[in-house]
Structure 1
Amino acid sequence: MIYYEIHPVNPEAHLFEVTLRLESVGAEGHTLYMPNWIPGSYMIRDFSKHIQWIRAENSEGPMKLGRIDKSSWHLPASDSSVVVTYQVYAWDLSVRGAHLDQTHGFFNGTCVFLAVSGREKETCTVDINRPDGEEYVHWRLATGLKAIEDTAEFGFGRYQASDYDELIDCPVEMSDFNLISFEACGIPHHMVLTGRHKVDDERLATDLKKICEHHLQFFGEPAPMDRYLFMTYVLGNGFGGLEHRNSTALHCSREDLPLETDDTDGVKETYQTFLDLCSHEYFHTWNVKQIKPTEFLPYDTQRESYTELLWAFEGITSYYDNLALAQTETLDKEEYLTRLAKTLTAVRRSKGRFIQTVTDSSFDAWTKFYKQDENAPNAVVSYYTKGAEIALCLDLLIRKSTHWQKSLKDIMRRLWSEYGLAKKGVENDTIQSMVLEETPDSAHEEIQRFFHLALYTTDPLPTDSLLSSVGLSLAYLPRRDRNDRGGFKASLPEDKQLSDLGIEYKSKAVGVLVKNVYADSVAAEAGVSAGDHLLAIDGLRISGSDFDKQVQQISVGETVTLVAFRRDELMEFEVALEAAECDTAYITYDEKGSEKAQQQFAQWLNLKESGQ
C-alpha cells in the first residue's frame, strides 16, 4: 500500500504539505513523477512547477533525490521505509488546479500527489488534514474518495483509492461549504457550494434530481457510481467544469444560481447555463470517464495522448446536455431551440470550419484548441459545437432511417454496455460501425456519406434539411449587434442589409480594442490587426458602447478612414465596408411542416421512442 498525507500548512501563503510513505524501495530504486496534464483538459500544464521544495529520508537520515526531467525524480534503494515530503504552492483558481487560502482549499490529485512509477495499480491511502487554527474548526471536506477507518462523511480523516488513477480522479474541496443533498434513482447526490452566494436550495435540488435521473435512465443499469458530488465554487464572474468518475468540479457566477425571488415558472438564462453545465459534466460520468478512446486506456499523464474522437466525447455530450433539459421540461421547447440556435451560430461564425476538420480539431487539441490565439477564429473549429451539430444530425438521421424506432440513444447505450462496462477502448470507426448495425441496409450509403462529410471534410452539414423533418426551419441572418447569437423566433426577423468590418472587439473608455480580425474581411484586407486600438471612424470618435450602431449607419460599400494606435504608433486604414455576413442562426416552426413532422418534433424532445 502507498500512503499519502496532505496538510494545508499555510493557507495565507497557499501552501499544502504532502507526505508520501513507502515501506521499502527495491534495489533499482523508484521513479517518482508528477502528472503533466489532467484528464479532461488536454494541454500540458507542468504541475510539478508548483513544488516549492522536496526531500526524502529513511531510518538512516536524508536521501538524495536525483532529478530525471522537469517532473520526475529518482528515489534510491532503501531497506527501511522511506518518507518523501514536499510543499505545493496552490494558487490556481480553476477547476483543473489547486487553490488554498483562508476561505477554502481545493485540489486535484494531479497537482499534489506524486506517482510511483510501476506501482500505479497499487491501493493508495491518504490522510487529509484540516488546517491548524480555531478559524478552521467549522470546515468540512467533500471528495469522491472512499472514507475509511471511522472517517465521518464530509469529515477530515483517512480515505482510500483502489489505485493512483482513482486517487487523481477524485478532487477535494474543504471549507465551510453549503451542502444540498438529494437522491436520484436511489443514489445519494450532493451539491457543495463554496463562496459567498444566495440560492434557492429546494429548486436547485429539484432541477438537478430530474436531470440526473434522466441521464441515469438514459444509460440504464448499472449506474457507474454509488454516490455523486457537484463541487461548485461560486464567484463574481466565473464559469467552467471538469468531469471526474463520481464528481465534478464547477465554477459559476453568483447570478447563475436560482433565488427564491425568481419566477418559479421560468428559468433565467444564466441559470439555464449553469444547469446545462451540470448536465454536461454529469453525462461525462459515462461518456469519457467510462466510455473512452483506446488512447486513454490507461491515461498517460506524462505526455500528450492524441485522439480524433473528442467530437464524440465532447460533441455528443454537448448535444445531450441541453436536450436533457428540454426532455425533463427543465427548459421549455422554445428555450431549448434558442440554445440550439446559439450552438449553430457558434459553428457558423468559426472561419476555422473551412480549413480544419472536426477530427483534426480533436487531434490538435493540445496545440490549437487549448492554446488559442487571436487567429483562432480563422484556424480552429470547436469539437464541442461542431461535434454537437454532428450529434444532432446523427440522431435525426438514425431516427429517420429507422422510421423513428431507434436513435443515437441506442448507440450510447451500446457503447456503455459493450465498451464502458467492459473497459474496452473505442476505436475511430466504432460509432460508425454501430450506427450501420442499427440501421437498415437501404440507409447505409447515406450514413457512410454523412460520416465522411462530417468527420473528414470541411463541407457544411445537412442540418437544415434534417431539422425540417421535425417541422423546424433554420435560417441564417446578419447579427444585429455583438450580443446577437440567434435563437428561436416565432417568425424570422427582417433581413436587413447591415454594414460590417469583419472584426471582434472589446469596448474601451475611448474607442475599441480589436480582439480578432476575420480572414478575408474588409478589415483584414485593409491591414487592421488584432491588438489595434481603434479611436476614430471618418473623423468621429468611436464610442465603445455604440460602435456597432456607428458602423451600421454607414452604407455597404462606402469607404471610411479608421484611425488607430498599434502599440504606440498612430495608424490609418482605408476600409470599404461590406455587407454583414449571414452567420446568425434562427430557428422557427416550419409553416409547411406536416402533422407527422410535428409529432416527431414532440417525440424527439420528450424522448418517447417506440418501445421505451
Structure 2
Amino acid sequence: MPAFHLDLTACHQHLVRVRLSHTPSRPSLGFALPGWTPGSYLIRDYVRQLEGLTVVQAGQALEPRRLTPSRWQLELPNLEPLEIRYTLHAADLTVRTCHLNGDHGFLALAAVVLELDGERWSPHGLQLSLPPDWQAFVPLPTPDGTIPPEGSAGWLAANFDQLVDTPIEVGPHRAHAFQVAGVPHRWVTWGSDLGGGDPLDRDPLWLTDLEQVCLACCRLMGVEQPAAPHYLFVLHLTDSGYGGLEHDLSTVLQFGRRALVRPGGRRKLLQLAAHEYLHQWNVRRLRPAELTPYRYDRAVVVPTLWFAEGITSYVDQLLPHSAGCCTEAEVLEDLGADLSRYLLSPGRQVQSLRASSEEAWVKLYQTDAYSPNSQISYYLKGAVLALVLDLHLRRAGSGLPQVLRELWASHGAVGRGYREVDLIEAFARQAPDLAERLPRWLASCEDPPLQACLADVGLRLQPTLGPSQDLGCRLEAGATGLTLARVAREGPAVRAGLAVGDEWIALNGVRLRSVDDCMELFRPEAPLTAHQLLFCRDGLVRTTTLLPEPPSVEGWRLEIVPETAEATAPQRRRWLTLETP
C-alpha cells in the first residue's frame, strides 16, 4: 500500500516535505504528479513547485528517468521497499493550490501526491507532521474506519482518487460540530484571528442557518440525508478573495473579510456554501461521463459543464431563501444582478454555451482584457439557462427539481456518468418541446426567452442608462494616468483606433488627470460632437478623433410587475422556494 508522510514543520519556509513509502510488485515503476484538480478545469502544472526528488531502496539511491516534466520511470534492481522523497513550495493561497506559513497550512493534494502506476485503486495511507499546537482537519477516516478526531495520527484513503479529493487544513484552529439529518458535519475557519472575525463568533445563528441550507439541498435532490457520510467545511477568510472547490466529503471556501461585514455579505457566504455543498451530488457523484474516471494528466473536453456549474450557480441563490434565511426581495436582487451581468456581456453573442463548456480549459480560467468580447462563462449563462428551463418546466407542471431528482436516481446514485443526450432526454421527459429547444439554446448564441419566462411569475427586466455618453471603453486611473482597461469590439473607441493599454493624456487640449475629468465632457446632455484625444501607446504620443454615442444601457433591474403582482404571487413563491408544482 502506498503511504504518504507529509512534514509541514518548515512552515515559515513554505516547504512541504513529502515521503512516499511503497513496496513495488514489478521491477519497472512509473509515477506522475497530477496536472490539475477536479472541479477546476485548467492544467496547472503543479510540478512547477516540486524540487529535489530522490528515490532510495535498501540504502541505495536510484535514478528515475524523467519522461515528461511531471512523469518519471524507474527500473528497480529488486522488489524491496523503497522511498520517494521530494519537497514542494507552498505559497499560493487558492482553494486549488497549496499554502503554508506560520499561521496555517492548506494542501490541495493533487498538487502534492504522486500517482504510482498500477496503484490507483489501492488504499493509500496518509500521515502528517505538524508544528506544535497545530491540529489537522482531514475529511478521511482513520485506518479503523472511524471519522477522525482532530490531530489524528493517520488516515486511510480507499484509493488514489479519494486521496486527491482530500483537502487538508492545518493550524491552531478550532472545529465547530453540527449535524444535518443525523450526519456529522464540521466547520473550520482560518483567517478570523487576522482581523475578520469568525462568522460563528459574530453570529450565533450561523450554524443553525447553515444546517437549514444543507437540508434545503437534500430536499432539492429528493433525499433524506446528504450523500456524504460525514462532511467538512473549511473557510479561508482573506482580504478580498472569493471562491470554492467541491469534494466528495468536504468543501473549501474563500471569502473576503470586508465583504462578509457588508450588507448582504452573510447571504453571499451562505450562497457560496450552498453551491459547493450541492456539488456533493451535482458534479461529484452525478458526474459527466467524460470525467469518469478522471484523467489527471490531460485536459478532457466536457460539453456539459453548463449543467454541472450553471444549474448549481442558479439554485445556490434560491437555496438560502428556500431555507428561510433571506427574503424574496433579496433573492430577486441577487437574480437581477446575475441577469444584468449576462445581458451586459458582449461575448454571449460570440460563444455558445456548449462551446464555453468545451473551451473551459483554455478560456474561462485564462482571461485577459479582451475576453469579455469573445466569451461567456458557462457558470453565468448556464445559470441563466437554468432559470429559463426551471420556469419553462413549471409551465408544463414540472420543474428543475424534478429533473435533478430523476438524474440522481438514474445516474448519480448508481455511479453512472451522463452525457449531453442524457440531459436533453431528462428535460424533454418533463417538457417534450425541450427536445428541440434545448439543443438549439446550447449550440447557438441566441438568448433564451428570459422576458417571457419571467412574465409567468410576474417579473420583468427594466434597463437603466449609464450616467455618461457611450465611449465603448472603460478607463482606469493608475500611477501614470488614465489607461484603457477594456475596449468593446464595436463602438466609438475601436472606431477611433484605440486599444487596451493606451494612456489618455489630454482631451481637446486639456490635461486629463482622473476619470471624472474625462467624464465631465461626456455628460448625457452634452452634444454628440467629435473630440480630439491625445494619447500614448508604447512610448509614442499620438492623436485621434473620438466621437461618442448616446448613453447605453448600464444595467438591468429585476422587478415585480404591479399589474400582475397579486395573481402571480403563488407561482413566484413556489418558484423561489424551489417547490415543485
Classify the TM-score, shorter chain.
Answer: over 0.9
Percent identity between the two aligned chains: 27
Distance between the aligned counterparts of 1:190 and 1:151, measured in 2?
A: 11
Does residue 210 (structure 1) correspond to residue 212 (structure 2)? The answer is yes
State the shift of 1:353 in Å. 0.9
How large is the Cα RMSD of the aligned pairs?
1.9
Given that residues 347 and 375 in structure 2 are in contact (C-alpha distance below 8 angstroms), is that contact kept between their aligned partners in structure 1? yes
Distance between the aligned counterparts of 1:594 and 1:167, measured in 2?
A: 52
Does residue 500 (structure 1) correspond to residue 458 (structure 2)? The answer is no
- Match among 239, 244, 248 for residue 245 of structure 1: 248
> What pairs up with 1:112-261 in 2 under 5 angstroms?
112-131=112-131, 137-148=132-143, 153-195=149-191, 196=194, 197-198=196-197, 199=199, 200-219=202-221, 220-221=223-224, 223-257=226-260
Given that residues 177 and 192 in structure 1 are in contact (C-alpha distance below 8 angstroms), is that contact kept between their aligned partners in structure 2? yes
Given that residues 472 and 587 in structure 1 are in contact (C-alpha distance below 8 angstroms), is that contact kept between their aligned partners in structure 2? yes
SS at 2:213 equivalent: helix
Q: Supply the AA of the counterpart residue of 1:412.
A: L
From the superposition, tell whether residues 272 and 564 of structure 1 become closer, same or farther in structure 2 (CA, over 3 Å).
Answer: farther
Distance between the aligned counterparts of 1:142 and 1:548, measured in 2?
A: 52
Distance between the aligned counterparts of 2:377 and 2:100, measured in 1?
A: 32
Residue 68 of structure 2 is matched in structure 1 by 69
State the shift of 1:417 in Å. 1.6
From the superposition, tell whether residues 510 and 381 of structure 1 become closer, same or farther in structure 2 (CA, over 3 Å).
Answer: same
Q: Supply the AA of the counterpart residue of 1:15.
A: L
Write out per-residue CA displacement over residues 518-539 of structure 1, whole angstroms, 9 at most, x where no aligned residue.
1111111111111122233332
- Match among 559, 570, 593 for residue 564 of structure 2: 593
> What pairs up with 1:397-416 in 2 under 5 angstroms?
397-402=392-397, 406-416=398-408
Given that residues 44 and 303 in structure 1 are in contact (C-alpha distance below 8 angstroms), is that contact kept between their aligned partners in structure 2? yes
Distance between the aligned counterparts of 2:284 and 2:148, measured in 1?
A: 27
Residue 491 of structure 1 is matched in structure 2 by none
Q: Supply the AA of the counterpart residue of 1:464.
A: Q
Distance between the aligned counterparts of 2:209 and 2:263, measured in 1?
A: 13
SS at 2:546 equivalent: strand
- Match among 270, 288, 297 for residue 283 of structure 2: 288
Write out per-residue CA displacement over residues 149-180 of structure 1, whole angstroms, 9 at most, x where no aligned residue.
69951114201100000001010000112433
Residue 392 of structure 1 is matched in structure 2 by 387
> What pairs up with 1:306-455 in 2 under 5 angstroms?
306-402=301-397, 406-439=398-431, 444-445=432-433, 447-455=434-442
Residue 521 of structure 1 is matched in structure 2 by 491
SS at 2:204 equivalent: helix
Write out per-residue CA displacement over residues 274-295 of structure 1, whole angstroms, 9 at most, x where no aligned residue.
2221111111111101111110
SS at 2:133 equivalent: coil
Q: TM-score, normalised by structure 1?
A: 0.89
Distance between the aligned counterparts of 1:181 and 1:54, measured in 2?
A: 39
State the shift of 1:203 in Å. 2.8
- Match among 530, 547, 563 for residue 576 of structure 1: 547
Q: Supply the AA of the counterpart residue of 1:255.
A: R
State the shift of 1:407 in Å. 0.7
State the shift of 1:567 in Å. 3.2
Write out per-residue CA displacement over residues 319-346 of structure 1, whole angstroms, 9 at most, x where no aligned residue.
0000112222322111111111111111
Write out per-residue CA displacement over residues 57-84 of structure 1, whole angstroms, 9 at most, x where no aligned residue.
1115111111110100112233211111
State the shift of 1:571 in Å. 2.7
Residue 492 of structure 1 is matched in structure 2 by none
Given that residues 33 and 70 in structure 2 are in contact (C-alpha distance below 8 angstroms), is that contact kept between their aligned partners in structure 1? yes
Residue 80 of structure 1 is matched in structure 2 by 80
From the superposition, tell whether residues 546 and 246 of structure 1 become closer, same or farther in structure 2 (CA, over 3 Å).
Answer: farther
SS at 2:361 equivalent: helix
State the shift of 1:257 in Å. 3.3
Given that residues 129 and 156 in structure 1 are in contact (C-alpha distance below 8 angstroms), is that contact kept between their aligned partners in structure 2? no
Given that residues 178 and 185 in structure 2 are in contact (C-alpha distance below 8 angstroms), is that contact kept between their aligned partners in structure 1? yes
Residue 489 of structure 1 is matched in structure 2 by none
Residue 607 of structure 1 is matched in structure 2 by 578
Distance between the aligned counterparts of 1:151 and 1:414, measured in 2?
A: 31
Q: Supply the AA of the counterpart residue of 2:313.
A: S
Residue 465 of structure 2 is matched in structure 1 by 478
Given that residues 361 and 380 in structure 1 are in contact (C-alpha distance below 8 angstroms), is that contact kept between their aligned partners in structure 2? yes
- Match among 535, 539, 544 for residue 564 of structure 1: 535
SS at 1:431 equivalent: helix
Which blocks of at least 5 consecutive residues in structure 1 are unaligned?
132-136, 259-266, 481-497
Given that residues 505 and 514 in structure 1 are in contact (C-alpha distance below 8 angstroms), is that contact kept between their aligned partners in structure 2? yes
Which blocks of at least 5 consecutive residues in structure 2 are unaligned?
none
Given that residues 476 and 485 in structure 2 are in contact (C-alpha distance below 8 angstroms), is that contact kept between their aligned partners in structure 1? yes
Q: Supply the AA of the counterpart residue of 1:561.
A: Q
Does residue 465 (structure 1) correspond to residue 452 (structure 2)? The answer is yes
Size of the alignment, in residue pairs?
Answer: 571
From the superposition, tell whether residues 272 and 71 of structure 1 become closer, same or farther in structure 2 (CA, over 3 Å).
Answer: same
From the superposition, tell whether residues 585 and 164 of structure 1 become closer, same or farther in structure 2 (CA, over 3 Å).
Answer: same
Residue 94 of structure 1 is matched in structure 2 by 94
Given that residues 179 and 211 in structure 2 are in contact (C-alpha distance below 8 angstroms), is that contact kept between their aligned partners in structure 1? yes
Distance between the aligned counterparts of 1:289 and 1:466, measured in 2?
A: 30
State the shift of 1:226 in Å. 1.7
Distance between the aligned counterparts of 1:362 and 1:228, measured in 2?
A: 29
Q: Supply the AA of the counterpart residue of 2:465.
A: P
State the shift of 1:579 in Å. 2.0
State the shift of 1:545 in Å. 5.6
SS at 2:274 equivalent: helix
Given that residues 556 and 579 in structure 1 are in contact (C-alpha distance below 8 angstroms), is that contact kept between their aligned partners in structure 2? no
SS at 2:80 equivalent: coil
Q: Which moved more, 1:364-373 or 1:566-575?
A: 566-575
Write out per-residue CA displacement over residues 65-121 of structure 1, whole angstroms, 9 at most, x where no aligned residue.
111101001122332111111111111111110111111111011111001122100
SS at 1:499 equivalent: coil
Distance between the aligned counterparts of 2:553 and 2:334, measured in 1?
A: 18
State the shift of 1:268 in Å. 1.8
Distance between the aligned counterparts of 1:218 and 1:168, measured in 2?
A: 28
From the superposition, tell whether residues 512 and 283 of structure 1 become closer, same or farther in structure 2 (CA, over 3 Å).
Answer: farther
State the shift of 1:188 in Å. 2.0
Q: Supply the AA of the counterpart residue of 2:238.
A: L
From the superposition, tell whether residues 452 and 580 of structure 1 become closer, same or farther in structure 2 (CA, over 3 Å).
Answer: farther
Distance between the aligned counterparts of 2:277 and 2:521, measured in 1?
A: 44
State the shift of 1:553 in Å. 5.2
From the superposition, tell whether residues 279 and 455 of structure 1 become closer, same or farther in structure 2 (CA, over 3 Å).
Answer: same
Q: TM-score, normalised by structure 2?
A: 0.94
- Match among 555, 561, 568 for residue 526 of structure 2: 555
Distance between the aligned counterparts of 2:480 and 2:328, measured in 1?
A: 42
Distance between the aligned counterparts of 1:32 and 1:186, measured in 2?
A: 41
SS at 1:360 equivalent: helix
SS at 1:365 equivalent: coil
